[in-house]
Amino acid sequence: MRPQYTNVTPQIIDDIITLMGKNSVFIDAIDREAYAMDETALLDPVMPDIVVKPSDTAAVARLLAYADSHVIPVTPRGAGTGLSGGVLPVYGGIVLSMERMNQILEIDTNNFTATVEPGVALSDLCAAVEAQGLYYPLHPGEMSASIGGNIATNAGGMNAVKYGVTRHHVLGLEAVLADGTVINTGGKYVKSASGYDLTQLLIGSEGTLAVITKIILKLSTKQANREILFVPFMDLQNAVDSVPDILRLPLLPTGLEFMEKDIIDIIERYTGRVMPCHDHKAFLMIIMEGNSIDAVTDYFAQVDTICRRYGSSEAVIPGSEHAKRELIESREKFYVALKKYAPLELMDVVVPRSQIALFLKKVKEISHEYNIPAVAYGHAGDGNIHLHFVCTTMSLDEWKRKLPSLLNAVYTTGISLGGTVSGEHGIGLEKIEYLAGHIDTGLLRMMKRIKHSFDPHNILNPGKLIDLG
């Protein structure tokens, strides 16, 4: 059922200009067009009626109070790098772009915290923190993403094996509720037993519960050495089978990625670079940090011994900073290269690490049954598998017809193995029915109640995460 929203009339636009100031409000089609999409493949753009770019929390609060009292949908937006259609304003209304709230307010070198506005780019945060001798260790693949977007999606990325995901690095938030109330959660402390933990509830809520306007992040110190071991195998199964043994070593790697030959071929074509050992069928990429090169080399020797037991060939350690950077960059560009290669659907199912091999085996069977190739790679160290079902064997129409049933079969398989629908990209618009179809009905009911108590008129990012219909 389509929610009943107020249309954005010329009178409403005038009111919003009065509230926010003329320079913060954009109504021309050419200005709105850039806010109709994110990085998700194959979604049709949806134009907002109006784009608003506030500069401070008070302005966000004024806008939400107005939108709530007039029942106008508001879609918060960070940098628009999301991969689940989370920023598409599916019911029109206002896109609330946080891009002007992009100040790093403080880096506190005694408490190891950074206090930032949500529009700060992840790359800018990392650079500023490192300039102070500290470290923000998360590495979700797209460094132009905003910190607000990272928090709203609970972004993960390559370093999650050692450092966890975004929620493990957030100490406090300032957020504006749907009716314009400003709340502050947490603070510059690491322990709290003081009531419900709304910081954690808002993380991963994809703009459906509140607009995040300030963030206190936990920082750490950086280890001196960061190296990569690239291990080739002749068989994917052997590569992923070696992962539990690698993780049983006393030291945890920072990242542990797997990839197959087909994505290596695609990335080589895209970048024009030759990847190491590219004649092999599957690869593990292990990232390790340590306080001395000897400690890292010693760890890699242990990993190599394990991988050899599973049939690996000679592993490669890139010798220069440039070679390391190229390898990481190639990994970061997989999605962009795949988008160029063929129409595709991206899934980011997560399963218990011990089930990766079985899950991938079953995915291959499903892919074979539907005659739709699956390109698989991902975060082997945390069980988060990126699957791309590409349209290379049939017409686009036929592929689109078959896709929902194929996706359903893959989600059902992942969940039957103890996994869940999304490990890091979020539910957004794309996976809403799959979440609803695959989680406990009591849990879904509870999520709807929480949404209703935060946002009774359903103005915040409606049509995302859960269907209230």
Ligand X SMILES: Cc1cc2nc3c(=O)[nH]c(=O)nc-3n(C[C@H](O)[C@H](O)[C@H](O)COP(=O)(O)OP(=O)(O)OC[C@H]3O[C@@H](n4cnc5c(N)ncnc54)[C@H](O)[C@@H]3O)c2cc1C
Instruction: Please choose, from the candidates 57, 55, 58, 50, the residue with its C-alpha nearest in 3D space to the C-alpha of residue 75.
Output: 50
Secondary structure class of 329 (helix, strand, coil): helix
Helix (H) or strand (E) holding 389: strand 384-390
Tell me: does residue 353 bind ligand X (CB under 6 A): no
Q: What share of the chain is helix, strand, coil (3-state, %, to 5)?
A: 40, 20, 40
Closest separation in Å from C-beta 119 to ligand X: 8
Long-range contacts formed by 169-172: CB under 8 A, 24+ apart: 169/136, 169/137, 169/138, 169/217, 169/218, 170/199, 170/203, 170/215, 170/216, 170/217, 170/218, 171/113, 171/199, 171/216, 171/217, 171/218, 172/199, 172/215, 172/216
Q: Which stretch binds ligand X (CB under 6 A): 147-155, 306-314, 395-403, 410-418?
A: 147-155
Beta bridge partner(s), residue 425: none
Distances (CA, A) of 462 to 191, 292, 429, 459, 466: 34, 50, 9, 6, 9
Interactions with ligand X, residue window 423-442 (CB under 6 A): 424-425, 428
Tell me: does residue 212 bind ligand X (CB under 6 A): yes
Taking residue 10's Cβ as centre, other Cβ atoms within 10 Å add up to 8
Helix (H) or strand (E) holding 332: helix 321-332
Tell me: does residue 146 bind ligand X (CB under 6 A): yes
Helix (H) or strand (E) holding 25: strand 25-26
Number of residues that bind ligand X (CB under 6 A): 39
Sheet with 344-347: strands ordered across? 225-233, 282-290, 255-260, 374-379, 384-390, 344-347
Tell me: does residue 118 bind ligand X (CB under 6 A): yes
First CA to last CA distance, the chain:
5
Closest separation in Å from C-beta 151 to ligand X: 7
How far apart CA 271 and CA 275 sit, in angstroms, is 10
Tell me: does residue 254 bind ligand X (CB under 6 A): no
Closest separation in Å from C-beta 395 to ligand X: 27
Closest separation in Å from C-beta 91 to ligand X: 13
Tell me: does residue 145 bind ligand X (CB under 6 A): yes
Rg over CA atoms, the chain = 23
Tell me: does residue 138 bind ligand X (CB under 6 A): no
Secondary structure class of 163 (helix, strand, coil): helix
Q: Which stretch binds ligand X (CB under 6 A): 126-134, 142-150, 367-375, 432-440?
A: 142-150
Helix (H) or strand (E) holding 127: helix 122-131
Interactions with ligand X, residue window 19-38 (CB under 6 A): 38
Which residue number, 331 or 353, has a Cβ lying nearer to ligand X? Answer: 331
Closest separation in Å from C-beta 69 to ligand X: 20
Closest separation in Å from C-beta 235 to ligand X: 26
Tell me: does residue 378 bind ligand X (CB under 6 A): no
**Residues 99/80, Cβ–Cβ less than 8 Å:** no
Interactions with ligand X, residue window 58-117 (CB under 6 A): 75-83, 86-87, 98
Which residue number, 361 or 452, has a Cβ lying nearer to ligand X? Answer: 452
Tell me: does residue 140 bind ligand X (CB under 6 A): yes
Residue of minimal Cβ distance to ligand X? 149
Closest separation in Å from C-beta 394 to ligand X: 26
Tell me: does residue 382 bind ligand X (CB under 6 A): no
Q: Which stretch binds ligand X (CB under 6 A): 153-161, 304-312, 360-368, 447-455?
A: 153-161
Query: What does the chain come to in residues?
Result: 469
Which residue number, 149 or 290, has a Cβ lying nearer to ligand X? Answer: 149
Tell me: does residue 204 bind ligand X (CB under 6 A): no
Instruction: Please choose, from the candidates 262, 263, 260, 264, the residue with its C-alpha nearest in 3D space to the C-alpha of residue 240.
Output: 260
Tell me: does residue 276 bind ligand X (CB under 6 A): no
Which residue number, 38 or 49, has a Cβ lying nearer to ligand X? Answer: 38
From 12, 152, 286, 372, residue interacting with ligand X (rule: CB under 6 A): 152
Instruction: Using CB under 6 A, list all residues that contact ligand X.
Output: 38-39, 75-83, 86-87, 98, 118, 140-142, 145-146, 148-150, 152-153, 155-157, 206-207, 211-212, 335-336, 424-425, 428, 461, 464
